[in-house]
Amino acid sequence: MTKKEILTSPFVEEMCDTTRNMYEHGWDERNGGNISYLLSEEEVAPYLDVEDVKRTIPIDFDAIALAGKCFIVTGSGKYFKNVHKDPETNLGVIRVGNDGSYVELLWGYKDGSVPTSELPSHFQSHISRLEVDLENRVIMHCHATHLLAMTFTHSMEEKELTRKLWQLCTECLVVFPEGVSTIPWIVPGTNEIGEATSAKMKETRLVIWPQHGVYGAGKDMDETFGLIETVEKAAEVYTYVQAQGGMKTSISDENLKALAERFEVVPREGYLSI
C-alpha cells in the first residue's frame, strides 16, 4: 500500500507551525527549547512503514514504561527557526525500544543527529502526565522571556508565584487552576532535572525551571502552546506593572472564587484565602 507523504501529516505540520511560532515569539533562541509529541501507531502507519527502522539510538534513561510508543521529537542542537524549512533534518519520529534502553528511528534526523538532549526529562514527564491524564500527549519546553525574567525578581515558592499570576490576568485561574510548580536550578539534560520535573508534573501542567525556562504539558499542540502563552502573558504584565511602580491593586480572592465558579474550575486547594 502506497504511503502518504509524511511532510503532509498533521503531526509534522503541527511541529513545523508550532516551532516557528515559538521562535517568532522569542522563546527559543538558537537551539533553545524542545518538543515531544506522543503519537499512536495508527497515526504514523499511513505515512511510514513502522517496521522499517532506520537506526537505533541508545538513551540514558530507562524508558521501559513507554516501550513501543511512538513520538515525534525535535532534534538535539536544532534551531526552531529551521524546522519548517527542513523538517526531515530537524525532527525525528522515534519508537521506544522493547527494553526501554534505546529508541528506534522511523523517520528524520537525516544528518545523523539524535533526539533532544532533554529527552529524559520529556520521557519522564510523559510518564507522569499519562498517569494523571491519558489525553496529555505533548511536552513542550521553551525560554519564555518574561517568565524567565520573573524567576529573578519574584519568589519561586509555588503558592506565592501561582497567586501572583492568577492576580495578574483574569484568564490565568481558568487556564491553570492547579497552579504552577517550580524546581531548584539543576543542570539541564540530566536525569536529575527530569526526575524533579516529572514529580511536579503529577501536580501541575506547568513546571518552571528558575533562570532557565518552563515545561508545559497538554493534550495537543494548541492547548500546550496556549498554556505557556497564558502564563507568559501574565509574566509580561508583571514586568510592565513593576516598571510602572508596582502593584497597587489586583484581582481579589473573592473575585477569583467567583471566576472559578463561573468557569467550573477548581483552584488548587489552600491557594485562596476564602
Integer Cα distance of 129 and 114 in angstroms: 24
Q: Which of 149, 162, 269 is nearest to 205 (CA)?
A: 162
Is 223 one of the catalytic residues? no
Which of the following CATH numbers is that of domain 8-116: 3.40.225.10, 3.90.700.10, 3.30.70.580, 3.40.109.10? Answer: 3.40.225.10
126: annotated binding-site residue?
no
Integer Cα distance of 138 and 126 in angstroms: 8
Write down the CATH number for the domain with range 118-268. 3.40.225.10
Annotated catalytic residue, options 118, 158, 229, 232 = 118
Integer Cα distance of 173 and 99 in angstroms: 41
Domain residue extents for the chain: 8-116, 118-268
Sequential DSSP letters for 13-58: HHHHHHHHHHHHTTS--TT--EEEEEE-HHHHTTTS-TT---EEEE
Q: Do domains 8-116 and 118-268 have the same CATH topology?
A: yes
141: annotated binding-site residue?
yes
pLDDT at 3: 81
Name the stretches of the chain with pLDDT < 70.
1
Q: What are phi and psi of 57, to 5 degrees?
A: -130, 115
Q: What is the dihedral of CA 256, 257, 258, 261, to 10 degrees?
A: 120
pTM above 0.85, yes or no: yes
146: annotated binding-site residue?
no
Integer Cα distance of 161 and 168 in angstroms: 11
pLDDT at 2: 72
Q: Are the C-beta atoms of 244 and 178 separated by less than 8 Å?
A: no
pLDDT at 250: 95
**Using one digit for the tens of pLDDT, what is the confidence trace for 55-65?**
999 998 999 99
pLDDT at 1: 57
What is the number of other CB atoms lying within 10 angstroms of the CB of residue 231?
28
